[in-house]
Amino acid sequence: MQLHNVKTQFLLPARFNSRDTVSINYRRFMLYLRDDIAAAIEGDIVEVRFLWNDEAIAQNHSVRLNSFPGQTLSMLELIEDRIEQLPCTVVVCETSKSACSVAIVTPTPQLIHKMINEMICPNKFTLPVIYDHNCSAQTFITQRLSSIETEDI
């Protein structure tokens, strides 16, 4: 069902589409790069997963996970600030009950590894975990979107 004439101050970056799944015992908010932009980007994916610490999990629970969209935007802003000088682009940024994750497409994954290793872990999270994915931005987005339907989040 489409919503018309939506008035909101909560503005998402124009480069991204979004998905938000709210169920009885899980929630997942995801920003993903528009297809016309993702198609033009080359490189491999480095995914950085920031797991929530116990205190943050309790806070998230207290607001019934309704802070996820805002937290996703904050994480996107933080990472984009860090990679501003690097040849890379955030492809997916998403928040679930377990983690806040950022997937970055880059021709030089080692630069992302170095940047993450040097950054101070943001509040609310434990040390980040890094995953390398040998796939394109479009393929990664497709995988993440299909996982919304099947994954136990």
Partner 1 sequence: MDSEFYIVSRKQDVRLALTQEQFKELKRARKRLSSAYAISHKHRLVLSNYKLILEAMRSLGEQYARQDDIKAIEDGKARLNANINNYVLSARIFTSQLKRHVQTCVPQDRELVNVLSRKMESEYKRSFAFRFIDSLYDYVAHYGLSIHTIKMKTEMKQNDAGLFERLYYINAFIEKDYIGGPAEFRASVFDEVSGTLDLIKMLTTFNQSLKRLHDQAMELIQDVFVKANELVNEFIGVFVSEYGNEHANLFVVHGTRMSSDKVYDTFPISMYVNNHNFGREYV
**Site for partner 1 (CB under 8 A): which residue of 22, 40, 119, 121?**
22
* 153 scored as a contact of partner 1 (CB under 8 A): no
Structure-token pair, residue 118:
């040097």
Of 10-18, 93-101, 118-126, 134-142, which part binds partner 1 (CB under 8 A)?
Answer: 10-18
Q: Which residue has the tokens 């610490």?
A: 53
Please count the other Cβ atoms lying within 10 Å of the Cβ belonging to residue 16: 19
- Taking the CA of residue 7 as centre, how many other CA atoms within 13 Å lie in the half-sphere pointing to its CB? 0
Structure-token pair, residue 12:
């998402």
Of 16-24, 91-99, 111-119, 132-140, which part binds partner 1 (CB under 8 A)?
Answer: 16-24
Q: Which amino acid is at 62?
A: S
Residues 93, 18: Cα–Cα separation, whole Å: 10
Q: Which residue has the tokens 């940047």?
A: 115
Task: Scan residues 64-93 and list those touching partner 1 (CB under 8 A).
Answer: 64, 66, 69-70
* 63 scored as a contact of partner 1 (CB under 8 A): yes
* 138 scored as a contact of partner 1 (CB under 8 A): no
Minimum Å gap between C-beta 147 and partner 1 is 14
Q: Which residues bind partner 1 (CB under 8 A)?
A: 1-3, 6-10, 12, 14-24, 34, 63-64, 66, 69-70, 149
